[in-house]
Structure 1
Amino acid sequence: MGEILVDAGLIKPETLRQALQNQRGTGKRLGQVLEEMDVILEEDIAAALGRQFGVRLVKGISRFNYPPAILKLVSPEEALARFIFPLKVEKKTLYLAMANPLDLDTAQEVGFRNGLQVVPCVTTPEEIKSAINRHLLAVEKKHQVKDRWWTVLIVDDQEMVQLMIEVTLKKQGYEILKANNGAEGLRLALQEKPHLILTDTLMPRMDGVEMFRNIKANRQIAHIPVIALSAKATPEEEARLLDYGYFDFMAKPINPVRLVARIKRALTQCYGDTPPQSTK
């Protein structure tokens, strides 16, 4: 992706090197990092990819209506993880909005699973996120479990990570609380007293480690199990966080199946087989 932007003359090689250095260990998209550096907008990246590879650029995709049969071609979890959204099917051809139209593996997998040929269309991650929120998540809400027992607090400054976890856990019937940093997470933990907390370790204002330290120092909420999420997927980082006292550790990007399994294990070990009533 970076080399394409350099070849297109949108950024300089030294800018790319700095962006890659800034991106390391954050879990952020390259386009997001470049935008934060005030170098280029993700709309410009999408347009450049479209010109470079002859892929159609699509905009405002959340404003349109989509038949349920189209929306069922891609699950919310897959859409969030891969930044894709199904647009329409014509003559056994699926037009698929993609933040990265060069991701041929995803296009082939979606096409093979649905028995369709896939034509990629490029758009921005924000466009896809907006479409997922309005359409795919709206469909999911109709099928959510009404009697929720568990309350889980998600603390992460990356909105897409929050959404992916939220969609995955709501399918299991969990009540979800969300915070964008450790300060907000600590406040919600004290107010709502969730049964479990998932937290990123690196965040602005108050990071996950400082929040965890404050939680364990407060007798009202010290019992709540906390699972650490980190883009530093090394054995040393896992050992450090577990030694610090976190109940468990999960490396980013988060695998939905592993996420559900780890959360069920934590809740069972901490509360037993019978779920308590929600603390809300």
Structure 2
Amino acid sequence: MTPHMQAGEALVRAGIISASALEKALARQKESGKGLGAVLAELGVLKEEHWIEAISKAFCLKTVSNITAYNFPPELLALIPAEFAAERLVFPLKEKDGMLAVAISDPFDTDTLEILAGKTSLKIVPFLARRADIEGAIEAKYPESTGAPAGPKVLVVDDSQAIASIIRGVLQKEGYRVSVGHDGLEGLKLAVAEKPDLIITDTVMPRLDGFGLLRALKGNPDTARIPLILLTAKSGAEEEQRALEAGFLDFLPKPVQPTRVVSRVKQALEKAPESPQR
């Protein structure tokens, strides 16, 4: 049973909606891909405010409103790029003790929550909010939404959190927007969802190694043009030749040196063919 079905049945048991209304809403939700709450509102079965109230009580979820009234530091907003926030209707509220509280209109959107956990390496705590409140906060708080220039997107895929954090910190200081995946499959999922301008991937990782990630991306027309840099502890001409012949744009040896990372990323973006976001 899907989370949306569980939520719908909880509403039926509480007498908030009828079983026939739920059946119709679930069919529409499956076709549209929208959250169940949004579909119920579109059908006129349940107002969004009543959906939030009912679901928060049924599943012990916290709620948030009037988000634009609060101030949010740039480093918090940087955890969720504006484009991703607008596409997924999610907004960062607070980071503390390894947790990130986010406002979201559909708390059962596990795909978005999993991506955020992978991007930030934090435990995601969802707060229910109206779509209009989230959209207003994104428009008011993100520099990108006001037309300010945004740096290229870089996806870092490495099972070492320490190395990934170093690279992310170095690149963010240079103005890049950085996401992090901690294994090959997570990196593949992020690449498909975000279509970054450049990917830096480790060689040896759980579930899918760097070469497997490369092949998967090149085999998908939507990601085939994204350039990749291979990050590896095996430095040498033979390893570099293998990487370049496989299709990597460049080669970055370990241990990671911040100045070299910045230099290679700049060079890669300059000589790469046109990527999905440019």
TM-score w.r.t. length of structure 1: 0.47
TM-score w.r.t. length of structure 2: 0.47
